[in-house]
Structure 1
Amino acid sequence: MDVTIFAPSPSLTVTIEEHGAGPDIHVHAGGQGVWQARMLRRLGAEVTLCCTLTGETGQVAQHLLEGEGFRVVPIARAGRGAAYVHDRREGERTAVAESEGEPLGRHELDELYGVTLREGIASGLAILSGPDGESTLPADTYRRLAADLRTNDVRVVVDLAGDRMLAALEGGIDLLKVSDEELHADGLLDDVDAGDDAVIEAMDELRRRGAKDVIVTRSSSPFLVLDGRTVLEVTPPELQTADTRGAGDSLTAGVSASLAAGAPLREAVAMGAAAGALNVTRHGLGTGDTETIERLRQAVRIRTVRGAPQEHDDSQGRVSPEGLAALAETAADAGRDEEGQA
C-alpha cells in the first residue's frame, strides 16, 4: 500500500498548550500534505512525501518528518520557509506569528515536479495537496502534474479548491474531495445551505470538467459521493469535537489508503468517514489509532440517493474481505507508530 503525496511546502508548526504548572510547547511538521500523510501512516500505508524544504525551518521539518516514518524526497533551498506559532492555552488557536514562506523558483519547481512524477509512477496512487501560501507555485502546475501522472497509469486524488482545483480538473483526475463552502466560493454552488439536488448538480459539473469521482463534504450534513453516475450519502458517527482542523485531510487519507489497498470507492469512503470522525475528537491533526477507526467504520451509514440500488444497500461501510485483509496486514506494522501532532 504505497502512496505518494505532492506537498509543495510543509510548515514547521509550534503550538503552545496549557499543561499543569506551565506552558507545554509542541513542535511538529504540518500542512495539508503532512496531515494526510500522518493518517495514511496510521492506516498502514507507506508514504512518500515530495516537497520543498526551505531554510532553517525546512531542515527541522525534514528531521521531524523522517522521524515519523515518512520517506521524504526533498528539494532543499535557502530562504524563508513556511512556519507558524500558535497559542492555544485559552482553548482557541491564537496566531502569534505565521509565515507562508517564499514562492518556488523555476528550477526548484522543475525539480519538485520531476521527483513527484517519478515517485507517483512508482507508487501507483498520488495525492495532490496544496501549499500554505497562495503564491507558492502556479496553479497550472496541478493541471500538468495530474495529466502526466494519469498518462502513466497513476490514480490521482485531489484535495484542493479554487484555481488549483480547476487546473487539476483540466488535467483530469480520478477523485476530487472538496467542501460545499469551497464550491460556493468558486461559484459552483449558489448557497452553502443548498439541498442535495444543488450539490449533486455541482458534482455532475465537476465530473464534466474532468473528475471521475467526487466527494463533497458538508459541515452540518452527511457528505455526498459521486461514484460514477451513482450518488451516495455518507453519514459518519457523531462524536464530540475538540478540533475540526485536519478532519477533511484525514477523510482524504482514509479513502486513499483503502483505494491503495484495492477497495472500491464505496468501501473507501466508509474508512475515510471513520478517520475524519475520529480526528475531530483529537488535538493532533491527522492522528488516530487504527483499531478505533476500524470500529467507527462499522457505524458509518451509507445509502444510495441516485442510481441503481447497490446490493446490501443497508451496508454500514463494511470492507470486502480482500480489502480488509490488505488494510489489516499493512496496518499491523504501523499500528503502533508514534503519534504525530500538529
Structure 2
Amino acid sequence: MILTVTLNLALDVTYEVPSVDWDGVNRVGAVHRRAGGKGVNVARVLAALGQEVLVTGLAGGPTGRAIEEDLRAARLPSALCGIAADSRATLAVCETGGPAPQETPGPRETAGGRRTALFNEPGPEVTPAELATFVRHYTSLAAVADVVVISGSLPRGVPADIYATLADLAGVPVIVDADGDPLRHAPKGRPSVVKPNAKELARAVPGGTPDEGARALRDQGAESVVVSMGSEGLLAVTGEGTFRARMPYTVEGNPTGAGDSLVAGLALGLVESEPWPERLRRAAALGAAAVAAPVAGEFDRDVYADIHPQIVIT
C-alpha cells in the first residue's frame, strides 16, 4: 500500500474557458470540482494504475467535508484527521483555445496552445494539539505502508521541518515533494527521494546548477534527488549515479498535476524496485501524459503509451 500525505488538502475547482478576457465577462465551458492537494493527485494516478493507496491529511469545516465526500465518490480510500478550521479551495483557470460556448470564434479563441492560471488559498490554521494528533495517526498508518509520499504546501501553524519529522518516523521509503522551507528541511529526515522542480531547487539551493543543487540536497541527507525540468525532462542524482530523462517532444496543455503524476511513477518504481532508468522513463511519461489531461490527478493514456518508449535515458 502507498500512503499519500497532504497536510494542506484542498477542494480543487477547475474552469475551462476558450480564452481569458481580464476586462470582461468570461463564459466557462466546463467546471470540475474535486478533492485535491498534491498527495490526492498522486493517489488518483496510482489508483488508475491499479495500485492500493490510502490518502491521509488534515481536513476541516464545510470544505473539508466536501473533500471527504469527493474522495468517497471517487472510491479513494482515506483516513483523514479532523481540524477545527475550514480547509482551503484552489482555482485553476485553463484556456482551451476553442470558441466560447454558442459564440462565433474570434482571433483570441482560435489561437493555438493552452494556458493555465492558478489561484491557491493559504489554508487553515492548525493548532499544536491537532498536529500532534495527526503525527500519532500518521505513524500508525505508515507502519503498514510500503511507500509514503509526502507532498504539497503546509497550512498555517505547521512548522517548516514537519516533512523531515514525518520522513524520519515512517520506517519505509519516503518521497518528499515540497517547496521553500519544507524542501530545505526535508533532507534531514533522510527520505528516499526528494522531488523539486527546477525553480523550487533554485530557491532551496541558490546560485548553482541543477546538478550542484541536487548534490547539495543529497549531501544534506536525501538518498536521491529527482529534478523535474518541464520539456527538458528529468535529472536524477542518486547513489547509483546521475541520470537524465530527455523528452522526444513537448506536450501542450494543463501542467497542473504533472509533477504529481511524475511522483506517482517514482512511488511505483520504489514499490516495484525498478532500476533507475526504467523508473525515470515511466515517471517522465506519466508527467507528460498528465499535461494532456484537463484536470489534475488524471493522465492521457494514449499520450503515455506514445511518449514512454521514446524517452531517452542517459
Q: Could you state the TM-score of these two structures normalised by the residue count of structure 2?
A: 0.84
- Which amino acid in the other structure matches residue 118 of structure 1? S
The 2-side partners of 1:61 and 1:36 are apart by: 15
After superposition, residues 119-268 of structure 1 pair within 5 angstroms as: 119-131=141-153, 133=155, 135-149=156-170, 152=171, 154-186=172-204, 188-190=205-207, 198-268=209-279
For 1:13, the equivalent position in structure 2 comes to: 12
Letter aligned with residue 73 of structure 1: A
Offset of residue 83 of structure 1: 0.7
Paired residues of 1:54 and 1:79 also in contact (CA < 8 A) = yes
**Structure 2 Cα separation of the partners of residues 184 and 98 of structure 1:** 22
**How far is the alpha carbon of 1:13 from its aligned partner?**
2.0
Which structure is richer in relative contact order (CA contacts within 8 A, separation 6 or more)? 1
Deviation at 1:60, TM superposition (A): 0.8
- What are the Cα deviations for residues 62-95 of structure 1, in whole angstroms up to 9, with x where unaligned? 1111222221111123332111345446765556
Q: Is the 8 A contact 2:41 2:260 kept in 1?
A: yes
How well do the aligned residues superpose, as a CA RMSD in angstroms?
2.3
Distance 2:37 2:232 in 1: 26
| CA distance 1:170–1:14, shift in 2 (3 Å) | same
Distance 1:69 1:292, change over 3 A: farther
The alignment covers a number of residue pairs equal to 289
**Alignment of structure 1 residues 1-342 onto 2, 5 Å:** 2-18=1-17, 23-88=29-94, 92-93=115-116, 99-131=121-153, 133=155, 135-149=156-170, 152=171, 154-186=172-204, 188-190=205-207, 198-288=209-299, 293-303=304-314
Aligned partner of 1:243: which letter?
N
**Equivalent residue of 1:118, what SS?**
helix
Query: For each residue in 1:77-133, what CA deviation from the matched residue of structure 2 results, as whole angstroms up to 9, or x when unmatched?
Result: 3332111345446765556x7532322111211122122222122112101112364
Gaps of 5+ in 2: 19-26, 98-114
CA distance 1:244–1:76, shift in 2 (3 Å): same
1:10 maps to a residue whose letter is L
User: 2-side partners of 1:123 and 1:130: how far apart?
Assistant: 20
| 1:302 Cα deviation after fit | 0.3
Q: Is the 8 Å Cα contact of residues 11 and 35 (structure 2) preserved in structure 1?
A: yes
Identity of aligned residues (%): 26
Query: What secondary structure does 1:71 align onto?
Result: coil
Q: After superposition, what is the alpha-carbon deviation per residue over 1:125-162, rounded to whole angstroms, capped at 9, x for unaligned?
A: 101112364x351112112111111xx3x001111122
Which runs of 5 or more residues in structure 1 are unaligned? 192-197, 304-342
Question: Which AA in structure 2 matches 1:175?
Answer: V
Partners of 2:120 and 2:234 in 1: how far apart? 32
- Asked if 2 retains the 8 angstrom alpha-carbon contact of 1:35 and 1:250, the reply is yes
DSSP 3-state at the match of 2:41 = helix
Note the C-alpha offset of 1:239.
3.8
**More displaced 10-residue stretch of structure 1: 285-294 or 159-168:** 285-294
Question: Structure 1 stretch 99-108 or stretch 27-36: which is displaced more?
Answer: 99-108
The TM-score with structure 1 as length reference comes to 0.77
Q: Is the 8 A contact 2:175 2:192 kept in 1?
A: yes
> Is this contact kept in 1: 2:9–2:88, CA < 8 A?
yes
Structure 1 residue matching 2:211: 3-state secondary structure: helix
1:280–1:75 distance in 2 versus 1, CA, 3 Å? same
Equivalent position SS for 1:69: coil
Higher strand proportion? 1
Contact 2:55–2:76 (CA under 8 A) maintained in structure 1: yes
Judged with a 3 Å threshold, the aligned counterparts in structure 2 of structure 1 residues 61 and 246 are, in CA distance, closer, same or farther, namely: same
Assess, with a 3 A threshold, how the Cα gap between structure 1 residues 88 and 291 changes in structure 2: closer, same or farther: closer
Q: 220-229 or 250-259, which moves further after superposition? A: 220-229
Contact 1:189 1:199 in 2 (8 A): no
* CA spacing shift, 1:16–1:200, aligned 2, 3 Å: closer
> 1:106 and 1:56 mapped to 2: Cα distance?
22
Q: Once the 2 structures are TM-superposed, how far is the Cα of residue 227 of structure 1 from its aligned partner?
A: 2.4
Amino acid at match of 2:173: R
Q: Distance in 2 between matches of 1:224 and 1:98?
A: 28
Contact 2:54 2:79 in 1 (8 A): yes
Q: Distance in 1 between matches of 2:117 and 2:235?
A: 33
How far does residue 247 in structure 1 lie from its aligned partner after superposition? Answer: 1.1
Aligned to 2:21: none
